[in-house]
Amino acid sequence: MSYLITLDLWGTIIGEKDYSSVSPKRSIKKCELIFDYLKGFSDTITLNDVIEALDFTVNKISLYSRFFCDKLFFDWLLIFIRRLDHNLNKKLTKSQIVYIGELIDRAFLEFPPIIFNGSLELIEFCKKNQIKIGIISNTGFNSPKVYRNWLINEKIFYDEIVLSNELGIAKPDKKIFHYTLDKLGIPPGNSIHFGDNPVADIMGANSIGISSVLISKNNSKNSINSNNFMTIDNISESVEVMKKWLDLF
């Protein structure tokens, strides 16, 4: 019998030390890099304009996810640029817009998230026990490419990764969970999902019959229903949870 674990990224296996959703250093680095580049195309854009446009775009991405939606990363770049200057996208070629995305990725790599204690141990446990590993993430304003490259460099193994800004679908939409399971060929009843969002992760997984584990982050989050398999403080407790879950079969 084959089994599958699916994992959220931010706030579950990686993130900021204080569990916050953003890194101020990473955000300001993104803005500084973009501002330095765009000075060559506009003499009216200020650093504060870039900061405001970045905040606008990040908030818009968050709003979209509430409606189970996302856009492709390139489309978010266009929204960001139009917010800065409605005519700026007409001055930039596609390759120049893509380069702005690369600057965003550069800031990510300069100020990367941490890998939470227990994440690598969980992955090794799953590999040892031949449990397939999927990653399902609502991505924010970072490219799919930078996630993949960084995860590989950090030895975070997975069999499949599904990112919302590649599909245009966000958790808790059933489609993103079905898509992942179909890619890996595992039924919902043989799958378990770990995540820190009671709606996007827990309700999303439960909606198609996947068992779920809520990461409560020092008891700061509570499940909004009783259908999750377990609630734990952080991912360091996950191996013991997996052993209990496997005992059910």
Domain ranges of the chain: 4-18+115-246, 24-110
What is the H or E stretch that residue 215 is in? strand 211-215
Tens digit of pLDDT at every position of the chain (249 positions)? 899 999 999 999 999 988 887 899 999 999 999 999 999 999 899 999 999 999 999 999 999 998 899 999 999 999 999 999 988 988 899 999 999 999 999 999 999 999 999 999 999 999 999 999 999 999 999 999 999 999 999 999 999 999 999 999 999 999 999 999 999 999 999 999 999 999 999 999 999 999 999 998 766 556 666 677 899 999 999 999 999 999 988
Which tokens belong to 75? 């489309």
Cβ atoms 170, 137 nearer than 8 A? no
For the domain bounded by 4-18+115-246, which CATH number is listed? 3.40.50.1000
Q: β-strands 14-15, 160-163: how paired? A: unpaired
Rounded Cα–Cα distance for residues 171 and 176 (Å):
7
- Interatomic CA distance for residues 167 and 100, integer angstroms: 21
Q: Give per-residue pLDDT as tens, 114-130.
A: 999 999 999 999 999 99
- What element of type H or E holds 90? helix 88-91
For residue 10, what are the β-bridge partners? 14
In which residue are the tokens 């898509």 written? 179
In angstroms, the CA 74 to CA 222 distance is 35
152 burial level (CB within 10 Å; 0-12, 13-18, 19+) = exposed
